[in-house]
Amino acid sequence: MRHSDTNILNSSESSSIEAAVSALRDDELVAIPTETVYGLAARASSRTAVNKIFKVKGRPANHPLILHIAKTSDLEKWAQDLSTVARTLVDHYWPGPLTIVVQRNEKVCDEITGGRNTVAIRCPDHKIATELLNRLDDAIVAPSANRFGKVSPTTAEHVAADLGDDVKIILDGGECAIGLESTIIDCTTTPPQLLRVGAITVEQIKTECLITVVSASGESRASGMLDKHYAPECEIELFNNRMQAETRRSELSQLGTTSEILDFGDDLALYARSLYARLRDADKRNIDVVIAVKPPSTGIGSAINERLKKAAR
Ligand code: TXA
Ligand code: MG
């Protein structure tokens, strides 16, 4: 859909946040910045609003949504029977890029969880998101604000390009600080399971909280974790180092194939922050192949490699 630009609001103005809160109260959708990626927000207590998300994103109804809260103490409003593991993780990493899957209570509607008795919850570390949640005095559900199957948006312009006028307001908070989606840990299993890797790694959790998180398997693994998910239009090829990437680039160029190299050296934070924007940009310029140099798998490097692998399939 062509986009008019009129619904992008500068989030540093208090009136913009007020407009967003008012739209959410009217069961409209609002795109908001978070520290990970932009989210497409709906008021969590409104089934009407939540249903709009599935319609606008073209997302299957069995793909559950993450509930976003203003502060750790709001967790009790939506969850029950919290385990020690869940409490420890929350105390350690909230607000921040960690989503926990816990037992839901009766306030969480089936539309949010796809009928599961568990719910994914996160407390974003972002001034605007927090202020919006505090003023709204409700939780929001927010998937990444892209059409289903596209890479997540890390700027307001990405959201506008994907969702156009289907979203009432886009709060512009600039570029997302992290640039990749939150880590998701299922705390309803023993041991807890990693459902998605993000900025927070299992190694870090082991060192900092003495909690062992294992790879996902069985029921939780199956829930909406599609094989190919982060998909740009261009082909993506992965290489271990710059030299291999340069060689491949020459080969492709001789074949008349347009390509470009994605390489950020050891700057993992920059890689994570730039990855989705660079993939979108390559598509915009009709680049045939993006040749990505894989980062080391330390810290957020695991998340980058996992997204690259999925995009390359
Ligand atoms: O960083 C993020 O988490 C971003 C920002 C906007 O907060 N949100 C995000 O949402 O990435 P989304 O909808 O794109 O991804 C939600 C993931 C899906 O993979 C879904 O399967 C999983 O969370 N999920 C949600 N509820 C779940 C549940 N009850 N059990 C297992 N997985 C769940
Ligand atoms: Mg998503």
Question: CATH number, domain at 50?
Answer: 3.90.870.10
> How confident is the model at residue 206, as a pLDDT?
98
CA of 303 to the centre of ligand 2 (A): 14
How far apart, in whole angstroms, are the C-alpha atoms of residue 133 and residue 181? 19
Residues with CB under 6 A from ligand 1: 34, 36-37, 39, 63-66, 99, 101, 113, 116, 118-120, 122, 142-144, 181-182, 184, 195-196, 220, 223-225
243 shares its domain with 288:
yes
Q: What is the pLDDT of residues 15-25, one digit of tens each?
A: 999 999 999 99
262 shares its domain with 189:
no
255 shares its domain with 180:
no
57 contact partners, CB below 8 Å, separation of at least 6: 40, 143, 146, 147, 148
Range of the domain at 251: 235-312
283 shares its domain with 161:
no
Q: Kindly indicate the confidence band of residue 221, based on its pLDDT and cuts at 50, 70 and 90.
A: low
Domain of residue 275, CATH code: 3.40.50.11030
Q: What is the pLDDT of residues 279-303, one digit of tens each?
A: 999 999 999 999 999 999 999 999 9
Query: For residue 15, is it within any domain?
Result: yes
Nearest CA to ligand 1 atom 29: 119
Query: For residue 113, is it within any domain?
Result: yes
Closest CA to 154 of 273, 300, 15, 62: 273
296 shares its domain with 240:
yes
210 shares its domain with 240:
no
15 shares its domain with 140:
yes
Nearest bound ligand to CA 99?
A: 1
CB 172 within 8 A of CB 17: no
Q: Are strands 169-172 and 79-80 parallel, antiparallel or unpaired?
A: unpaired
Query: For residue 192, is it within any domain?
Result: yes
Total number of domains constituting the chain: 2
128 or 150, greater pLDDT: 128
> How confident is the model at residue 148, as a pLDDT?
80
Nearest bound ligand to CA 230?
A: 2
133 shares its domain with 247:
no
> How confident is the model at residue 59, as a pLDDT?
85
Q: Kindly indicate the confidence band of residue 313, based on its pLDDT and cuts at 50, 70 and 90.
A: confident
> How confident is the model at residue 96, as a pLDDT?
98
| CA-based torsion, 202, 206, 139, 125: positive or negative | negative
273 shares its domain with 124:
no
Reduce the DSSP state of residue 182 to 3 states and report it.
coil
> How confident is the model at residue 220, as a pLDDT?
53
CB 35 within 8 A of CB 126: yes
Q: What is the pLDDT of residues 71-114, one digit of tens each?
A: 999 999 999 999 999 999 999 999 999 999 999 999 999 999 99
CA of 119 to the centre of ligand 2 (A): 16
188 shares its domain with 268:
no
> How confident is the model at residue 230, as a pLDDT?
60
Q: Which atom of ligand 1 is nearest to the CA of 145?
A: 6
**End position of a domain, from candidates 185, 215, 245:** 215
218 or 107, greater pLDDT: 107
> How confident is the model at residue 217, as a pLDDT?
76
**What is the model's pTM?**
0.95
Average pLDDT of span 164-178: 95
CA of 40 to the centre of ligand 2 (A): 10
12 shares its domain with 111:
yes
20 shares its domain with 63:
yes
Average pLDDT of span 33-55: 97
What is the number of residues in the chain?
313
Query: For residue 279, is it within any domain?
Result: yes
Query: For residue 17, is it within any domain?
Result: yes
88 contact partners, CB below 8 Å, separation of at least 6: 209, 211
